[in-house]
Structure 1
């Protein structure tokens, strides 16, 4: 299956691979910012590696219908960091090689602030047809700088067979999660709870979810205001630190990225796992020890359903695009209803179109869709900042120290506030 073949490189697939929409043309004759573009013509689309090999057929369909506006796919390295670095090098040169860019949702603010992508006119795209939270990932300083293309939200995977034996339901609050992880997991010789806790982008996501789910935030005003020094942040990060200290978060989880945590769960080593939707396919595969024995629900929070961090990617028009009207039309194609369904069925990626999540046939094929829809609707973007990479590195370092018991959660939050304020001043 494509999902299982792709699982080994999951986060990149989830956040970077391109997929699309058919139909709905965009009015031509104007550049993305409203300036006349002088006509239409061939384009390039830059993305990280197309690991599921379904993007090619989508673009072939476009090219057959638009012989004068053919698109050439430029595949960058699979690594999100390397792909970002190559995009930035090209964009800084002003050469205009990349007309359309498939960018991680966390990069929108940085690319917009730097002037590498151009504002788009909201009424030219079917934004009202998307799941509402995803649109916020494409805006910066009150303007639309990209169009949501693929989304993602974290979910809580749980061992249904073990909870059923104990007469328990999956947790809706942190207190229930902690109690079940402490008391049920040891009975069956499994770890209680894990996420992606190695110091990398995954830890930033996990930490932000804990802060958000406690009612807090990390940054405000597009990264200019630091809001993390709060009781909510101390509660959320404190729960992670306490889990490691008390043993219901295994110490091995401090080395987990997406794939390590997925394998641990599907090998029967965990009661609970926070991970992305792609995990459903791997855990259902022939090599999974828990196939048919698990379920997925939205993340729990401090006093009810929690808040996931949005993943995924957005499509943007480069500031030096040669034919921006054609570029906008291609984005409309890749975000149409028909192609968004192919995003799910052929690319195994979560689409941004709301209607896809309520299609009975698709729900039968992909039973996690209702839980994923609920997770996306309750989700929030990662902290917005034109210096997001620095912000993420600071969060990773501080939260790792708290979970490794090198610093108390209270001290860690104070330190993070100081570091984030210094980053904001550098702008």
Structure 2
């Protein structure tokens, strides 16, 4: 017999009829109190909160799991290890929501997923759960990436941003400073290649996948162009600035600055070539810094980082990346799920995570934290890059628009069609997609 039933029997047997109303009143108060305690996460029974992450990421967060369990012994946090590829994680989350009865209380979100998931009704609005002063502690672009139609759906755990790596030793030998423009990068690369100082001039991600879109956003920004305007859904892929951006990337291959195989490279292929001393310039993410700085790295202490180059008269662009947590709309334990978000996004826990993994903070103050800077002295410089970050189009249809861009951009870069034809077709197909969606 449950405790509640035993209590009911006790009151009915012990209280005389004239005092029965007091017993019933006590029962009502007890029932309301129990309900409130359960609703505020203070229920006596342990609650399981589940989240899906890429396997490497899940293992990294396991190191702080024991601390969470000590602080919240009544919350059993279950981190499910998923595939390594982020698009596969997105597919698993999407399938779970479409099929109904999703097993996930928390959603581990890439910056470009928030709009799709929020528009579909798969995330809870968490705007009221965090104060404005606390929100201001995070990078503004990361908060922007977690918002949809004025509401907040995602709290950032760690950030990411595209940047330019360069061989400082080779530039010094050639008498050059790090380049600021696309033209300077090409000139320096060709000169040092001719002198035999550099094998591969410029490495970037040219394979047909999401990394191609992320890389192209930076080149597009550097030429003053745009992809999709989120407020109006205007498409800018067939504008002169966008076509020039494609022409620049294609010229790096045609003029021998980038190898022909660059159109098949992802982040790690380019990282390994640069780390092994073959590349002069590299576009990649901050994780490369740790690998290139290891004791067995041929370029340890021989490279630097800076914001991406740009066309003369325009500004640098750095693609905003990063991961955060949102609460699934189907979760039966939203308050406990919020406790998880609060804990893992807190300053102390984030500091511990960054020191252990070398990932990028989402809290601005941590870029100049003494302990972090002592271990990662490039973080203040990294913050400068992040201050020039740009978002990929924050629209619910992002996945489809990215697929369109990748297909036509890949065709142009591999010489199957001209940059003009590729961007004209990409723009037309994107407009059809967005126009149809808007009508629906």
TM-score range, shorter chain: 0.7 to 0.9
Q: Secondary structure at the match of 1:385?
A: coil
2:189 aligns with one of 171, 181, 190: 181
1:97-156 per-position Cα deviation (integer Å, ceiling 9, x unaligned): 211111111111111111111111156152200111111111112221111121100111
* Residue from 367, 375, 385 that aligns with 1:375: 385
Out of 232, 235, 240, the residue aligned to residue 249 of structure 2 is: 240
How far residue 37 of structure 1 moved from its aligned partner, in angstroms, is: 8.5
Say which SS state the counterpart of residue 70 (structure 1) adopts.
strand
Map of 1:61 onto structure 2: 67
Name 2:205's counterpart in structure 1: 196
Matches of 2:38 and 2:243 in 1, distance apart?
51
Residues of 2 paired with 1:61 and 1:414: CA distance?
Answer: 54
**Deviations 1:33-70 (CA, angstroms, capped at 9, x unpaired):** xxx98332431122221347331132221111112223
CA contact (8 A) 1:45 1:102 kept: yes
**2:233 is matched with which residue?**
224
The Cα of 1:369 is off from its aligned counterpart by 1.0
Measured against aligned partners, the alpha-carbon deviations of 1:358-399 in whole angstroms (never above 9, x if no partner) come to 124422311221222111111011122222222111111111
Contact 2:170 / 2:198 at 8 angstroms: preserved in 1? Answer: no
What are the within-5 Å matches in structure 2 for residues 3-402 of structure 1?
Answer: 38-40=39-41, 41-51=47-57, 53-121=59-127, 124=130, 126-187=134-195, 188-221=197-230, 224-303=233-312, 305-402=315-412
The CA deviation at 1:285 is: 2.1
Kept in 2: contact 1:245–1:405 (CA 8 A): no
Give the Å deviation of 1:189: 4.4
Stretch moving more, 117-126 or 144-153: 117-126
Name the structure where helix makes up a greater proportion of residues.
Answer: 2
- Structure 2 unaligned blocks of 5 or more: 1-36, 42-46
SS across alignment from 1:106: coil
Comparing 201-210 and 181-190, the one that deviates more: 181-190
**Backbone CA RMSD of aligned residues:** 2.0
- Give the whole-Å Cα distance in 1 for the aligned partners of 2:225 and 2:415: 22
* Residue 421 of structure 2 corresponds to residue 411 of structure 1: yes
1:168-195 CA deviation, whole Å, 9 max, x = no partner? 1111111211111121233224111011
Larger radius of gyration: 2
Name the SS for the 2:201 alignment partner. strand
Higher relative contact order (CA 8 A, sep 6+): 1
C-alpha distance in 1, partners of 2:198/2:78? 52
Task: Measure the CA separation in 2 of the matches of 1:418 and 1:368.
Answer: 42
Structure 1 residues 59 and 77, CA gap change in structure 2 (3 angstroms): same
The structure-2 alpha-carbon separation of the partners of 1:292 and 1:426, relative to structure 1 and needing over 3 Å to count, comes to same
How many residues matched? Answer: 393
The TM-score normalised by the length of structure 2 is 0.85
- Verify the 8 A CA contact 2:58 2:81 in the aligned structure 1: no
Query: SS state of the match for residue 158, structure 2?
Result: strand
Shift of 1:81: 2.1
Q: Helix, strand or coil for the counterpart of 1:133?
A: helix
**Any conservation in 2 of the 1:149–1:351 contact (CA below 8 Å)?**
yes
Cα deviation, residue 345, structure 1: 0.8
- Which moved further from structure 2: 266-275 or 389-398? 389-398
Q: What is the CA distance between 1:236 and its match in structure 2? A: 1.6
Structure 1 portions without partners, runs of 5+: 1-35
1:42 is paired with a residue whose SS is strand
Contact 2:242 2:423 in 1 (8 A): yes
